[in-house]
């Protein structure tokens, strides 16, 4: 009799817990009988019976809508507002259809969106509408999150985002003080920006916006103080090695090498052809100096007439040297050249002409 009663009770218990929920992967393992069994808060449905559970006591399952099964809130079936077996692991009252993060009770379809890089209200967009007129950054609502948010479109400013989330824009300075339109901050925009105040350098601005300063060279190798790069600064820089020319530096800084015309081609006649033995003997020195000396006495020598024959020219010099040479001034200037001294026995002329370096 007792055996038969126990068999009947066991059959009834098993019929109330028929199988597990099928066809619902989210709730696989939830006993179907637990979807209709209302357990008190802090209890769980286990094998179709309610029992106390510390795990379920820590959850906040919605009373009359949910029951705790295996430490998770599960919606009851046949209840208005219920989910028919949907799990609610975080106990926020939202099952799979309204909770995009069932591990965080602060995230569900009914939550308010905040600036925290999380989609709080599960609408598919994080932080939307949380910072009107500003940007939602890691630190909250700011004017900028990084320097890219501060771009003012000006190539001549450096844009930055401060720790307080505010933009700043600094102009050109330091080693790149010039604002070059369309390019940005550079050391120079044109050669005028590179002037170093040195007349002996050529200042230029490179394609990279940096200055360079080239010294004298090429056709203008000499640095003339206050004038700049020239071919020459003084006569000494114009020597051409030709004793028959007068070398000079013009006011414009160019060299000039000319043969004196006072005696025609006397230098050529005396130094190059050397046809007259007497002349060749005494006039082998610097022909340029000799011709210059003759130019000084052209009024008495007849060289002003550009008489090309050196004998005629020098015969006039004889007359000049024949004069008394113990005076000063014009007579002294006329007594020049070793040729005159060799032709005359005037002791004064011999002494005076030693001071001439011919």
What pLDDT sits at residue 87? Answer: 67
Instruction: Give the confidence band of 85 by pLDDT, cuts at 50, 70, 90.
Output: low
What average pLDDT does the segment 163-185 reach?
A: 93
Cβ neighbors of 93 (< 8 A, separation 6 or more) are: 62, 65, 66, 108, 110
Tens digit of each residue's pLDDT (9 = 90 or more) over 272-310: 433 333 333 333 334 444 444 444 444 444 333 333 334
Instruction: Give the confidence band of 260 by pLDDT, cuts at 50, 70, 90.
Output: low
Cα Dmax for the chain: 184
Instruction: Give the confidence band of 47 by pLDDT, cuts at 50, 70, 90.
Output: confident
Instruction: Judge whether 78 and 54 are in contact, CB under 8 Å.
Output: no
In terms of pLDDT, which residue wins out, 16 or 254?
A: 254
What pLDDT sits at residue 80? Answer: 54
Evaluate if pTM is beyond 0.95.
no
Instruction: Judge whether 108 and 83 are in contact, CB under 8 Å.
Output: no
What pLDDT sits at residue 79? Answer: 60
Quick one: which of 99, 70, 96 has its CA closest to 83?
Answer: 96
Question: What is the rounded distance in angstroms from the CA atom of residue 301 to the CA atom of residue 304?
Answer: 8
In terms of pLDDT, which residue wins out, 186 or 264?
A: 186
Quick one: which of 115, 92, 90, 94 has its CA closest to 103?
Answer: 90
What pLDDT sits at residue 244? Answer: 62
Q: Give the DSSP per-residue string, 218-273.
A: TTB-EEETTTEEES-SSGGGG--S-TTSEEEE-TTS-EEEE---TTTTHHIIIIII
Tens digit of each residue's pLDDT (9 = 90 or more) over 184-229: 999 999 999 999 999 999 999 999 999 999 999 899 999 999 899 9
Mean pLDDT of the chain: 71
Q: How many CB atoms lie within 10 A of CB 305?
A: 14
Res. 19: pLDDT tops 60: no
Instruction: Collapse the DSSP code of 11 into the 3-class scheme (helix H, G, I; strand E, B; otherwise coil) and give the result.
Output: helix
Instruction: Judge whether 46 and 23 are in contact, CB under 8 Å.
Output: no
Distance of CA 93 to the CA centre of its chain: 60
Res. 320: pLDDT tops 90: no
Question: What is the rounded distance in angstroms from the CA atom of residue 244 to the CA atom of residue 271?
Answer: 8
- Return the minimum-mean-pLDDT range out of 172-186, 213-227, 327-341: 327-341
Instruction: Give the confidence band of 96 by pLDDT, cuts at 50, 70, 90.
Output: low
């Amino acid at each position: 009799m007792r055996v038969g009663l126990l068999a009947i009770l066991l059959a009834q218990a098993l019929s109330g817990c028929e199988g597990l929920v099928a066809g619902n992967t989210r709730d696989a393992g939830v006993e179907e009988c637990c979807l209709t069994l209302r357990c008190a808060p802090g209890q769980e449905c286990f094998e179709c019976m309610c029992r106390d559970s510390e795990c379920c006591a820590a959850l906040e399952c919605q009373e009359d809508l949910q029951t705790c099964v295996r430490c998770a809130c599960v919606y009851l079936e046949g209840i208005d507002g219920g989910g028919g077996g949907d799990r609610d692991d975080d106990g926020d009252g939202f099952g799979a259809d309204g909770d995009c993060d069932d591990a965080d009770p602060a995230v569900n379809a009914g939550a308010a969106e905040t600036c925290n890089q999380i989609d709080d209200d599960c609408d598919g967009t994080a932080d939307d509408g949380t910072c009107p007129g500003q940007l939602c950054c890691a630190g909250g609502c700011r004017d900028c999150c990084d320097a890219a948010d501060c771009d003012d479109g000006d190539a001549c400013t450096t844009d930055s985002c401060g720790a307080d989330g505010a933009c700043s824009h600094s102009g050109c300075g330091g080693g790149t003080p010039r604002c070059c339109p369309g390019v940005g901050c550079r050391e120079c925009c044109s050669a005028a920006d590179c002037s170093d105040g040195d007349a002996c350098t050529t200042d230029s601005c490179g394609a990279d916006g940096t200055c360079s300063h080239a010294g004298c060279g090429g056709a203008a190798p000499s640095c003339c103080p206050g004038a700049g790069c020239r071919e020459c600064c003084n006569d000494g820089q114009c020597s051409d090695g030709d004793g028959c020319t007068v070398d000079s530096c013009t006011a414009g800084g160019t060299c000039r090498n000319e043969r004196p015309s006072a005696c025609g081609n006397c230098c050529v006649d005396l130094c190059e052809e050397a046809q007259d033995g007497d002349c060749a003997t005494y006039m082998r020195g610097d022909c340029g100096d000799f011709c210059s000396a003759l130019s000084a006495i052209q009024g008495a020598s007849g060289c002003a007439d550009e008489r090309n024959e050196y004998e005629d020219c020098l015969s006039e010099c004889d007359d000049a040297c024949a004069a008394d040479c113990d005076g000063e001034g014009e007579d002294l200037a006329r007594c020049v050249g070793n040729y005159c001294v060799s032709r005359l026995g005037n002791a004064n002329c011999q002494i005076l002409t030693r001071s001439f370096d011919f």
